[in-house]
Amino acid sequence: WTGLLPRKHYVGVLQKTHAHVYLSVPFVLSWSMIEAMSVGCPMVASDTAPVREAATHGEDALLVDHSDIDALAAAVARLLDDRAYATALGRAARRTAVRNYAAKWIWPWRDRLLTELVRAG
């Protein structure tokens, strides 16, 4: 465990990751998954509704039942054993993160949402 890292070191660690494991409990999506995707980490993540909003199994991540240790191990092993596949999955993850979560898209959406909420009372 590295503890708290300065941002540039944290991104460097993510960029060197061969298999980023994101097991979400209590089943929420956090920015840590999006950050990992944005730098091209090959991802193994919980097959839960919030995660499926951000990633698609086999396209930009491998999604597994977080309680199935054998499936988790097999998914990680696949990424470690097939570096070409892992690299392709990581690149697809980055494309997904940039397309769906880049600040240039998120901030205007957030502003519209907040404006609508204020108007609704």
Q: What is the DSSP string of 72-89?
A: HHHHHHHHHH-HHHHHHH
Average pLDDT of the chain is 91
Number of domains in the chain: 1
The CA-CA-CA angle for residues 54, 57, 61, to 5°, reads 65
Q: Is there a domain that residue 95 lies in?
A: yes
The model's pLDDT over 56-68, given as tens digits with 9 standing for 90+, comes to 999 999 999 999 9
pTM for the predicted model, two decimal places? 0.82
Note down the domain range covering 38. Answer: 7-120
The answer to whether residue 72 is domain-embedded is yes
Does residue 2 fall inside a structural domain?
no
CATH number at residue 59: 3.40.50.2000
